[in-house]
Amino acid sequence: MRTAFQEELRFELTLTVGGKSFSIPGGQLKHLSARMANHGFTASVTFWSSLEKKDAPLFTALQKPDLVQVRLSVAAVDPELDPPPAPLVLQGLVRSRRLVAETHGATKSADRVFRRYTLEFADAAQVLWRQHRPVELHTNISMQEVLDAHKASLQLSYDWAVLRQKQEMLCLALGADVPGVSFYDFVLWYVHTRNGVFSYDSQQNQYLLTDSKPSSGQAAPLSRQRVQHVQVQLPQPIRHGTRVLNALANGPTTTALAQDQAVTGVSHDVLLRTPITAQAEQRQKLEKTRLQVRQRQLLVSFKRFPSVDVFPGALLRLEGPLWPSALTGLGEDQRVLELELEAHAEREGQHDEQQSKEANYQVLLSARLESSSEPLVTLPPYRVPRYPIHVEGLVHSPGGEPQDRRYLIIEDEKTSLSYFRMTVPLWNQTVSVPAEPTLFPGQFFFPPYKNTRVMVALHFERAELIRFLDWKEGVRTPQDGQGDQLLLGWNKTSQTAFTHDFQDENPMWRMHRTNSGDTQIVRMGEGHLFIQVKESPSGGPPTPTYDVTPQVEAAKGDLSSAVGSAIGETSAAYQGAMGAVRAKMKSAQAETKAALSGARAEVGAKVAEAKSGLQGASSRLSQGVSKLSGAAEAAKAALEKLR
């Protein structure tokens, strides 16, 4: 429960519109509402302007649809804060603006008015990326390069090996046919599905994509004197396990991932279809991390502005004599997960505090804390991108003439998987698709020929051949004959044609083989069989030629696949090693913290024992002194009697 408290605050508000900056005196701000999280913030600010004419620069600038940049800092004016903590800083872009004007003076025709502006703004990623919906295909590219190409004015920082890995293809499918899915959703989906971290540094106005949360830093002591209330919030337990199912006909597997709190028979199943063992194992590791149980959180409500830095990502420690000794999380490092701030000016009139930098506000301030050892990432809700998208492609097969019916199959020596190559003219990119029978049963071998129009399904990191879209030149028969035809071979000068049609309503079948001037014909009709072998003198035997382009292309594909696989294995090994190192470091840190806590408890017990001993000795000494004083008094009295 949050309780409002009175605080003198100093606001510094700067608006930048069309390259021109406007500074608003802090006293003119009448209301602020902000919710800051580890991934970004949303805020709303209301302020009065001083007397403005119709052509006032700020009023004129905000009438235009130009991008409005906001920088707002908030600091408490409290002499007890020495040294004061760093101001809270919000830097973002305006989402919406509202304006109310009040005339100054008795006459309605007065040229000068007070204007009340309300601006709703957020961090740049939410404003820009939520309106960004690209549809693109990239090949031989890393995710980091994709992010850099779409960062606009954002500052991005990376510390994640996955982002640097070159991928054979990456497809962005965020167009208008996918309602509500933006590039912002895509980034959050990517981070979540790959167990990464997406965070925002509000002080530096910078976004960070990393493989894990920071594990170092000095926690600032949070005093009990400025805290109103602490609430412990326990997460909802996970009651399910996970099974990863690989639906291969030749070697199906089901891998069960246990979870201590799971109820027997309750499971979340993940379905795959991949012959590559490394991909299945990688998915199993990912699902295993998702079964981690989130640690408890603390909701802290303040009654004064804190005396230390409190912003998302800051480290705090609840310590000091005023905290209850049994408080959960006492003496442990905590990370600020969220911060909510609301401030209402005590004097809200348009005339009040017009040129003052500070003013008094009724403030509501609370923070959500998580343990600094919490590995799980908190992300905002997002919409999942919809895959695949469908585009037209042309079968890629080098060698020969443009109209030749040649095909190319590239085999990955490491996985023994075979691929066709498809060029997508829209982006002039060539992708690999599995070399499978597609719509034919396995006893037919009809690979797609060069330059054939096909429908290709683009997933995020892979492509599939869906169907064929046209006939090759010369294969269609005239409508009148109602015929069917099969063409085999390179081109019309070197091929074998099988044709069945109707002539005078009688079925006719023929086979026509040709190779330059050498032709053979077999024709069967109503009551006759015709066989002809013919060699045209003018044709002559063809000059043998050897086109090694397909072999070169296949070798290039094999090499590219091998290099990509090697890089992937190296990156995976590096990530595994780094994960093991981090786990050992965190374990060592936990052991060290436990040892320190035990040492503190042991020292505290010994100090308490020593204090008790000292108190006992002091008590005995006091009793001895009291007895000695009594004896002295008795001796004194005896001496007096002797006199």
pLDDT tens for each residue of 49-76: 877 777 688 888 988 899 999 999 999 9
Average pLDDT, the chain: 85
How far is residue 557's CA from residue 551's CA, in Å, rounded to a whole number?
A: 10
Cβ-based neighbour number of residue 304 at 10 Å: 19
Q: Which two tokens stand for residue 56?
A: 């006032």
3-state secondary structure of 122: strand
Q: Which two tokens stand for residue 17?
A: 């519109």
CB 609 within 8 A of CB 615: no
3-state secondary structure of 261: coil
CB 90 within 8 A of CB 71: yes
How far is residue 151's CA from residue 158's CA, in Å, rounded to a whole number?
A: 13
What percentage of the chain carries pLDDT values higher than 70? Answer: 81
> Quick one: pLDDT at residue 457?
96
How far is residue 207's CA from residue 80's CA, in Å, rounded to a whole number?
A: 34
How far is residue 560's CA from residue 400's CA, in Å, rounded to a whole number?
A: 23
> Quick one: pLDDT at residue 611?
58
Angle between helices 277-289 and 549-642 (to 10 degrees): 30
Asked if residue 545 has pLDDT above 50, the reply is no
Dihedrals φ, ψ of 481, to 5°? -80, -10
Asked if residue 400 has pLDDT above 90, the reply is no
Residue 561, CA distances (Å) to 245, 396, 411 in order: 26, 17, 9
225-229, 233-237, 337-341, 583-587: which has the highest mean pLDDT? Answer: 337-341
Q: Is 399 left (phi over 0), alpha (psi -120 to 50) or beta?
A: left
CB 539 within 8 A of CB 516: yes
Residue 490, CA distances (Å) to 24, 263, 516 in order: 76, 62, 12
How far is residue 410's CA from residue 396's CA, in Å, rounded to a whole number?
A: 11
- According to DSSP, the residues that pair with 76 across neighbouring strands are 9
- Confidence bin at 279 (pLDDT 50/70/90): confident
How far is residue 340's CA from residue 29's CA, in Å, rounded to a whole number?
A: 18
CB 431 within 8 A of CB 389: no
> Quick one: pLDDT at residue 631?
62
Mean predicted confidence (pLDDT) in 24-35 = 92
> Quick one: pLDDT at residue 134?
95
3-state secondary structure of 237: coil
3-state secondary structure of 58: helix
Cis ω for the linkage preceding 388 (within 30 of 0): yes
Cβ-based neighbour number of residue 469 at 10 Å: 12
Mean predicted confidence (pLDDT) in 253-276 = 91
23-32, 93-102, 134-143, 351-360: which has the highest mean pLDDT? Answer: 134-143
> Quick one: pLDDT at residue 106?
58
How far is residue 344's CA from residue 547's CA, in Å, rounded to a whole number?
A: 79
Asked if residue 362 has pLDDT above 50, the reply is yes
> Quick one: pLDDT at residue 544?
46
What percentage of the chain carries pLDDT values higher than 90? Answer: 54
Mean predicted confidence (pLDDT) in 4-21 = 92
User: What is the rounded end-to-end Cα distance, in angstroms, of the chain?
Assistant: 79
Q: Which two tokens stand for residue 494?
A: 């070197």
